[in-house]
């Protein structure tokens, strides 16, 4: 059967009815017997994939990779990380090649990696940012070790895509079809094409299909659960961009404008955003959070497990600005930032942010203020990444002059509504199709995330619980907050956690996660372990035993 003639309906029926799973366990991830091809078969099959036509596209490269000759390449520097990859066939292709309304060429690029000793699993590796890059499809996992503990090393087939445009710049948003591709269509096409190629290569459909992604990738996972519920058995969405077009981008604008207003001026008279709050200032804030709330969870360990009600006025210097305290203008700006954006009538336009010691971590600065010195262009991601997306993609019609710096909180939010309707994933909490097929949703979110608030994530899970009742909802959707973690990883946190293993055990063995052991990767928590607890529970030290050991904590 040629790949272009594999009936998708049949493929789905095979997966839905498939119960052939090996339940032996040799590691944290339930094992499946290798069910791939022998080496000569696989090599020949890889060669025949090269250059063949596929539905609305073509394969441009099919390359054989001998065992141990490549490792995962972690962007942005493409450092080689993790164990050597097993023997596999890597396929690169283009779907839907076309000329856009802007006169530029577009296609949906993808990469699919097919291990010879296949464990029967298929992993869709979510993207992020503006996408536009085909990252190596190794099945990136969650957290700080996502590229290291990838799915391909464990024997899964994995796919990635550029989401329908080429290059990470936001100008693709000027083409209406490219927006649609980015929102959902390129992802559906990539997923279905990958399934077709899996069937052609292995002669059968995957036993189980998973999605793993963070940020924009988390949004893509939610999108699949809502619009194409038949495609995945388990979805892991970390810090999903569920209303970035008409929510988080407004919050980024609010934050940037509040901080610019207090920024010192350079010799050229321009505000120095990076100096609105110095690293020492942010340390003052973090220390105040710790002083107020670290012990609330029973252990002074640098992690704040429960919501912290900090009154920022305690940060204010009694007189002039001095070390160890903040100026009144800084305190006022910080109070506004942390409360979240509002219009002139006081209506909330997004969520607020939890007080967390991770505010002093580099990632918080990198998003909100950046590090640019005098005479350098601003490099805060709220200005580089978010402002570009805001004007080119999120606004309808596009308005490249719109940015986070000049965003008007009364006039401009409605300009984002149309694209939010196709891009946002915050509204659907019924998830009928996904729930009925037995799909599982696993969410993670860092409580020091500076671009998507963990309060937004709690709100979504709370609405799922309200829609279905907490017990039925918990049967298919669970949230794990990561105290101290910034965006996707980083921060004073136990930010190494194996979301793929957790979703696999839930889907294949029925083990719904209550606690997931995570490890610290830097700072005082390096090497320490903690349970991440099923929200709304948090990790509480039992009062005895080594506090660097997750086994001495309970979730409650
Ligand atoms: Ca604590």
**How many C-beta atoms lie closer than 10 Å to residue 540's C-beta?**
17
Residues with active-site annotation: 215, 449, 487
What span, in angstroms and rounded, lies between the C-alpha atoms of 40 and 29? 28
pLDDT digits (tens, 9 = 90+) for 120-172: 999 999 999 999 999 999 999 999 999 999 999 999 999 999 999 999 999 99
Q: What are phi and psi of 502, to 5 degrees?
A: -65, -45
- Place 234 in a pLDDT band, splitting at 50, 70 and 90: very high
Question: 93 φ, ψ to 5°?
Answer: -145, 170
What is the rounded average pLDDT of the residues 437-458?
Answer: 98
Q: Label residue 50 by pLDDT band (50, 70, 90).
A: confident
Q: Which residue has the higher pLDDT, 15 or 201?
A: 201
Tens of pLDDT along 73-132?
999 999 999 999 999 999 999 999 999 999 999 999 999 999 999 999 999 999 999 999
Centre of ligand 1 from the C-alpha of residue 300, in Å: 4
Distance 450 CA to ligand 1 centre (A): 21
Residue that finishes a domain, picked among 422, 444, 465: 422
Q: 457 with 222: CB under 8 angstroms?
A: no
Instruction: Answer for the pair 351, 132: CB distance below 8 angstroms, yes or no.
Output: no
- Could you tell me if 350 and 296 lie in one domain? yes
| pLDDT > 90? residue 309 | yes
Under 8 Å between Cβ of 255 and 247:
no
In a domain, 441, yes or no: no
Provide the pLDDT for residue 28: 39
8 A C-beta contact, residue 70 and residue 90: no
Q: Are 155 and 271 part of one and the same domain?
A: no
Domain assignment of residue 312, given as a range: 246-422
Residue 67 lies in a domain: yes
Strands (E), 23-101: 53-54, 57-65, 72-74, 79-81, 88-99
C-alpha to C-alpha distances, 430 to 26, 105, 468, 491, 512, nearest whole angstrom: 36, 38, 8, 33, 20
Are 81 and 148 in contact, with CB atoms under 8 Å apart? Answer: yes
Longest dimension (CA), the chain: 79
Distances from the Cα of 392 to the Cα of 219, 397, 403, angstroms: 19, 9, 9
Write down the pLDDT at residue 36.
65
Q: Are strands 72-74 and 79-81 parallel, antiparallel or unpaired?
A: antiparallel
Report the alpha-carbon distance of residue 357 to residue 339 in Å, rounded.
16
Mean pLDDT for the stretch of residues 267-275: 95
Percent helix, strand, coil in the chain (nearest 5)? Answer: 35, 20, 45
92 shares its domain with 198: yes
Residue 37 has a pLDDT of 74
Predicted confidence at residue 17, as pLDDT, reads 32
How many angstroms does the Cα of residue 550 sit away from the middle of ligand 1? 14
Task: Convert 220-253 to b/e letters by CB count within 10 Å (16 or more is b).
Answer: bbbbbbbbbbbbbbbbbbbbbbbbbbbbbbbbbb
In total, how many domains does the chain have?
A: 2
Of 227, 340, 327, 213, nearest to 280 by C-alpha is 327
Q: Calculate how far, in angstroms, residue 410's C-alpha sits from the geometric centre of ligand 1.
A: 40
For residues 184 and 262, state if they share a domain.
no
Same domain, 187 and 318: no
CA of 540 to the centre of ligand 1 (A): 8
- Indicate if 99 and 25 belong to the same structural domain: yes
From 4-13, 38-47, 194-203, the region with the lowest mean pLDDT? 4-13
Q: Ligand 1 centre and the CA of 548: distance in Å?
A: 12
Shared-domain flag, residues 374 and 320: yes
Residue 500 domain flag: no
pTM above 0.85, yes or no: yes
Average confidence score pLDDT of the chain: 92
Instruction: Say if residue 260 is in the same domain as residue 196.
Output: no
For residues 400 and 324, state if they share a domain.
yes
Q: What is the pLDDT of residues 166-199, one digit of tens each?
A: 999 999 999 999 999 999 999 999 999 999 999 9
* 355 is a domain residue: yes
Task: Judge if 254 and 161 occupy the same domain.
Answer: no
What digits encode the pLDDT tens for the residues 345-357?
Answer: 999 999 999 999 9
CA of 442 to the centre of ligand 1 (A): 25
453 in any annotated domain: no
In a domain, 504, yes or no: no
Residue 35 is predicted with a pLDDT of 61
Q: Is residue 48 part of a domain?
A: yes
Which residues share a beta bridge with 99?
A: 105
SS3 36: coil
Residue 15: per-residue pLDDT: 33
Inform me whether the pLDDT recorded for 295 exceeds 80: yes
Q: Give the ranges where 248-355 is alpha helix by DSSP (H).
A: 249-260, 279-293, 328-339
Q: Tell me: do 257 and 324 sit in the same domain.
A: yes
Question: Which of these three, 395, 422, 449, is where a domain ends?
Answer: 422
Same domain, yes or no: 26 and 109: yes
Give the integer Cα–Cα distance in Å for 279 and 262: 15
490 in a structural domain: no
What end-to-end distance do the CA atoms of the chain give, in Å? 53
């Amino acid at each position: 059967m040629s790949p272009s003639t594999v009936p998708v309906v049949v493929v789905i029926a095979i997966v839905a009815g498939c119960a052939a799973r090996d339940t032996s366990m040799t590691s944290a991830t339930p094992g499946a017997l290798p069910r791939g091809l022998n080496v000569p078969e696989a090599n020949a099959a890889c060669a025949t994939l090269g250059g063949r036509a596929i539905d609305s596209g073509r394969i441009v490269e099919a390359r054989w990779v001998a065992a141990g000759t490549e490792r995962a390449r972690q962007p942005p520097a493409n450092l080689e990380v993790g164990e050597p990859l097993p023997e596999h066939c890597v396929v690169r292709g283009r779907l839907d090649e076309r000329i856009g309304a802007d006169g530029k060429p577009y296609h949906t690029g993808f990469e699919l990696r097919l291990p010879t000793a296949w464990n029967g699993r298929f992993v869709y590796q979510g993207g992020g940012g503006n996408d536009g890059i085909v990252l190596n499809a190794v099945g990136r996992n969650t957290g700080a070790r996502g590229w290291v503990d990838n799915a391909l090393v464990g024997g899964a087939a994995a796919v990635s895509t550029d989401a329908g445009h080429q290059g990470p710049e936001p100008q693709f948003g000027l083409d209406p079809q490219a927006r649609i591709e980015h929102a959902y269509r390129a992802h559906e096409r990539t997923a279905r094409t990958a399934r077709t190629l899996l069937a052609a290569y292995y002669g059968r459909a995957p036993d189980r299909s998973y999605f793993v992604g963070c940020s924009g990738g988390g949004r893509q996972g939610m999108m699949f659960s809502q619009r194409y519920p038949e495609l995945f058995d388990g979805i892991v969405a970390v810090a999903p961009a569920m209303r970035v077009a008409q929510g988080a981008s407004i919050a980024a604008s609010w934050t940037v404008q509040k901080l610019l207003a207090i920024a010192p001026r350079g010799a050229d008279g321009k505000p120095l955003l990076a100096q609105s709050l110095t690293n020492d200032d942010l340390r003052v804030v973090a220390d105040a959070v710790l002083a107020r709330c670290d012990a609330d969870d029973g252990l002074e360990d640098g992690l704040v497990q429960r919501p912290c009600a900090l009154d920022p006025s305690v940060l204010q210097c009694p007189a002039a600005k001095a070390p160890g305290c903040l100026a009144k203008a800084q305190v006022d700006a910080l109070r506004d930032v942390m409360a979240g954006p509002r219009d002139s009538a006081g209506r909330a336009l997004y969520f607020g942010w939890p007080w967390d010691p991770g505010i002093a971590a580099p990632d918080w600065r990198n998003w909100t203020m950046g590090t640019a010195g005098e005479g350098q262009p601003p490099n805060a991601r709220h200005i580089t990444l978010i402002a570009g997306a805001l004007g080119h993609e999120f606004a309808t019609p596009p308005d490249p002059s719109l940015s986070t710096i000049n965003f008007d909180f009364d006039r401009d939010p409605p300009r984002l509504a149309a694209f939010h309707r196709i891009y946002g994933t915050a509204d659907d909490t019924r998830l009928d199709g996904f729930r009925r097929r037995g799909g599982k949703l696993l969410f993670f979110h860092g409580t020091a995330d500076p671009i998507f608030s963990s309060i937004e994530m709690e709100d979504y899970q709370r609405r799922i619980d309200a829609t279905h009742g907490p017990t039925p909802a918990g049967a298919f959707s669970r949230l794990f907050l990561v105290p101290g973690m910034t965006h996707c990883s980083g921060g004073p946190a136990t930010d190494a956690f194996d979301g793929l293993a957790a979703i696999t055990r839930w889907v294949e063995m029925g083990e719904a996660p209550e606690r997931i052991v995570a490890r610290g990767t830097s700072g005082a928590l390096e090497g320490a372990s903690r349970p991440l607890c099923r929200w709304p529970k948090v990790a509480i030290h039992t009062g005895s035993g080594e506090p660097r050991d997750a086994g001495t904590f309970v979730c409650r």
